[in-house]
A and B are shown apart, each in its own frame.
Chain A
Amino acid sequence: MGIYFLRRVLATIPVMAVVALFVFSLLYIAPGDPAAVIAGDQASPEQIAHIRASLGLDRPFIVRFGDWLWHIVHGDLGTSIFTNLPVSHMIAQRIEPTLSLMILTLVVSLVIAIPMGVVAAWKQGKWQDRLIMVFAVLGFSTPVFVIGYVLAFVFALQLRWLPVQGFVPIEQGFWPFLRTLILPAFTLGGIYIALIARITRASMLDVLSQDYVRTARAKGLGERPVLFVHALKNAAVPIVTVVGLGVALLIGGAVVTESVFAIPGLGRLTVDAILRRDYPVIQGVVLLFSFVYVLVNLAIDLLYTVFDPRIRY
């Protein structure tokens, strides 16, 4: 297990190198010029050329890539072209909101989706199953921003229970912190709940038809222990896989959710950087997301051994 873990961690290095090359090349060939955006609408072409040169954006691809890579391997993600702040500082400022949002969304989604999936499987073909599946289809098909607007309209503007926008760091109090994240978490969680509920249902249906479940029922176990102790544990591997894969979904959804609720997270940082062509920030954030995704996948692989002792690395 230890060797497997080490091997997987080492395997992230070539993966990250490929990601780095890909991201840098993509941004190099993509249209856009940060110097023009910096200078503003009224700057002359001559002034823009001056700014471009002062930022080193007129250097050849290989020089810029080599320079960037050299800094990366020394742990320096570079400096934002626009704010002149270190990219690592900007990312550090934005991690708490995004991480909080993703963790809360994950908790909310698992707490809601797994019981929904279990109930749907247990009551297969009945109204409970159909109702849950209708909800799942709605969750899949409704865009995140629509859910966000509806929730904000009802719970923030009409009922005034929760704020419309913003983020309060946890050090300013747990409840103020939580208040700002409830609506975004439910917004972002919509599609995730739908996904996990459907996978849980499918996986549970498969497990519930197994002999050992029939045996458990035959020996007189109640439905709750059958469902949640015997069946759910054996259905967990596909669910955990989807939860892991869904992290990418959460990252994508966080971009929209953070914009709708004005949360200063990594998603908004990414969008702002893309619109301005702030290359060092885009590169830094994409590298970070890729690294997180690789780590999440590793964690999922390791979790398999917990749910299924037959799996060995």
Chain B
Amino acid sequence: MKRRAFLQAAATTAALLPLSAPRIGHAAETRLLKFIPQADLAILDPIWTTAYVTRNHGFLVFDTLFGIDAQFRPQLQMLESAGAEADGTIWRLRLRDGLKFHDGEPVLARDCVASIQRWGKRDAFGSALLEASDEISAADDRTIVFRLKQPFPLLPDALGKAASNMPAMMPERLAKTDPFTAVTEMVGSGPYRFKTSERVPGSLVVYERFNDYRPRENGTPEWISGPKIAHFDRIEWHVVPDSATAAGALQSGEVDWWEQPSFDLLGLLKGDGNVVVAQIDPTGFPSLARFNHLWPPFDNPAIRQALLGAVSESDEMTAVAGTDTSLWRGDLGYFPPASPMASAAGMEVLRAPRDYEKVKRDLAAAGYKGERVVAMIATDFPVLNAMGVVGADMLKRAGLNVDVQATDWGTVVQRRAKKDSPASGGWSVFFTSFSGLDQFTPAGYIALRGNGDKAWFGWPTAPKLEALRDQWFAAPDLAAQKKICEDIQRQAFIDVPFLPLGLYYQPTAHRSNVTDLLKGLPLFWNVRKT
């Protein structure tokens, strides 16, 4: 090359560089999404844990047979067709053609059968389905057959649930793992592939697009249904434990999306023109004070009923989410308002004016003798801390002899499993919240179970609630389900397995160039970055 030609070429290249480089960089940037999850993804197996962060990861890596839409109706997802025969006692589910796992193997019916059986041993809704089933088998490579003892009309709902445990379909060799042992090899058939080699537990999780994923060809992307179009080549989850740092990272553009900004930083984020604060989860987080039904004073239903008169949901939710009333609901019964099962049945007791002197009289009449009430409060989660502090104060104002025991969540979850008396290291009440999805219907609503020893912590025995739950599973249609849920709520105000404390809506925050987020969960298909 001649000197002049070389200089000319160099000058041309130099002139073009500022134009081309940013464009290349920009394109790469729009194909990478950096996300701060609500917590570290310590556990990868969505069947082994009910942790929400693992569920969210599960929807990236695994696909489901059905998926609920924005109206919470199950739609076909991995399936081409599904139908009931023989008065609803036989279901045939036909897989779509061409579905593949991330290891290149085809998705077969026997993989799904093994996955359903493993999931059903851990999930409440799943176990109801297994109990109703005589046999689940693979008729051929693409057909799954359920032979049921009695009709189970909610089968598509169960297999399309968005709540934990999500019904993940995995290869048979993994699904054969004991459900109480974690699967560590992440091979799903979802739109993104988990990058094991890049994982740094507690810090970084990486996914890359699964090029062989076949989205549905029809439907609308809503919640976990419809075509799952992956617009990113790579998704990085950066674990940032400190909320102020997470806010700074979002404001400076170091990350694109922060799943759960803390309530006290919302004002700061809303004031930043490059950040959008949005609500994607319409179901909210119902909060509750859970009683220990084994020991005085809360073994006495009249005492539990009397305390309903002391509940101030607006006080609770103001402490949790602040004075912006768009962030919480204070008129919560036993089902979240977004659920079709929600009703006003029996709500008078929560809607009447709060009268603590009357509550004291009712408690005395119910036989309260000043027994010590051990209230466990988890201080390491701001929401639970606020809920617990206000809740304990509410109990004190009602005249209970409250012994507040503030500790970390890890200690609460250990101690709440103890059935000993409060005097021997047990407990009387603790405070927590669930995703609204978990309380959407009686199917997976563990806090509303009344199956004694086998019930969730607190171990209420409430045979009427259990009987109503059984009726609900057999209900022929939505109207019948709603009617039964009204009865369940009325009965819950009699048995009082827990005190409802209101519901808060957890916002999410993202850069303004991140668009098309789906409602429901932090889902990573459909989302784009411009």
Contacts and interface: CB of A to CB of B under 8 A. Distances in A.
A binds B: yes
B49 A262 contact: no
23 contacts: A31-B411, A32-B411, A37-B410, A38-B48, A40-B164, A41-B432, A43-B50, A82-B42, A82-B201, A83-B201, A94-B200, A163-B254, A164-B252, A166-B238, A260-B245, A262-B238, A262-B241, A262-B249, A264-B202, A275-B408, A275-B410, A276-B42, A276-B410
Contact of A42 (B164, B204, B239): B164
Given A45-B457, A51-B180, A264-B203, A163 B240 contact: no
Contacts of B54: 40
A269 B434 CA distance: 27
B40 interface: yes
Nearest to A271: B241
A36 B456 CA distance: 12
B140 interface: no
Main secondary structure on chain B at its contact with chain A? Answer: loop
Contact of A36 (B122, B249, B413, B432): B413
Interface in B449-475: 454-457, 459
A157 interface: yes
Interface in A263-293: 264, 268-269, 271-272, 275-278
Given A42-B434, A45-B417, A47-B122, A164 B245 contact: yes
B434 A272 contact: no
A67 interface: no
Nearest to A82: B42
A89 to B, nearest CB: 9
A5 B8 CA distance: 67
In this complex, the member of B51, B251, B454 whose beta carbon has the largest number of chain A beta carbons within 10 angstroms is: B51
Given A149-B244, A164-B249, A260-B245, 6 more contacts: A31-B407, A33-B417, A50-B180, A83-B42, A157-B251, A277-B414
A260 B51 CA distance: 24
In this complex, the member of A43, A54, A271, A276 whose beta carbon has the largest number of chain B beta carbons within 10 angstroms is: A43
B149 to A, nearest CB: 23
In this complex, the member of A37, A94, A259 whose beta carbon has the largest number of chain B beta carbons within 10 angstroms is: A37
B181 interface: yes
A39 B122 CA distance: 10
Nearest to B433: A41
A84 interface: yes
Interface string A141-185: 000000001001100110010011110000000000000000000
A192 to B, nearest CB: 21
A41 B251 CA distance: 32
A209 interface: no
Nearest to B182: A84
A65 to B, nearest CB: 20
Interface string A231-259: 00000000000000000000000000001
A54 B180 contact: yes
B351 interface: no
A45 B416 CA distance: 9
Contact of B249 (A47, A85, A165, A275): A165
Nearest to B41: A83
Contacts of A275: 380, 408-410
A276 B251 CA distance: 30
A66 B436 CA distance: 45
B446 interface: yes
A113 B454 CA distance: 62
B252 A163 contact: yes
A125 B311 CA distance: 64
A31 B407 CA distance: 10
B248 A40 contact: no
B434 A156 contact: no
Interface in B208-257: 238-242, 244-246, 248-249, 251-252, 254
A211 interface: no
B144 to A, nearest CB: 25
A170 B481 CA distance: 60
Contact of A32 (B40, B184, B244, B414): B414
Contacts of A264: 200, 202-204, 239
A303 interface: no
A157 B49 CA distance: 37
B248 A152 contact: yes
Contacts of A42: 50, 124, 164, 434, 438, 444, 446, 456
A133 B434 CA distance: 52
B411 A48 contact: no
B415 interface: yes
A24 to B, nearest CB: 18
A198 to B, nearest CB: 30
A260 B434 CA distance: 28
A40 B410 contact: no
State the 3 A-B residue pairs at the shortest beta-carbon distance, nearest first. A264-B203, A40-B50, A33-B414
Contacts of B456: 42, 44-45
A108 interface: no
A119 interface: no
Given A33-B417, A90-B201, A38 B49 contact: yes
Contacts of B239: 262, 264
B380 A165 contact: no
B249 A39 contact: no
B434 A41 contact: yes
Nearest to A162: B252
Contacts of B200: 93-94, 264
B43 interface: yes
Contacts of A90: 201
Contacts of B446: 42, 44
B367 to A, nearest CB: 28
Contact of A40 (B51, B203, B240, B254): B51
A164 B180 contact: no
A49 B268 CA distance: 44
In this complex, the member of A41, A80, A156 whose beta carbon has the largest number of chain B beta carbons within 10 angstroms is: A41
B297 to A, nearest CB: 22
B50 A164 contact: no
A80 B201 contact: yes
A158 B178 CA distance: 52
B181 to A, nearest CB: 6
B242 A39 contact: no
Contacts of A152: 245, 248
Nearest to A39: B49
Nearest to B447: A42
Contacts of A261: 245
Contacts of A85: 201
A285 to B, nearest CB: 12
Contacts of B252: 156-157, 160, 163-164
A183 to B, nearest CB: 11
A251 to B, nearest CB: 17
B242 A262 contact: yes
Given A41-B50, A269-B202, A46 B454 contact: yes
A156 B248 contact: yes
Interface string B89-131: 0000000000000000000000000000000001010000000
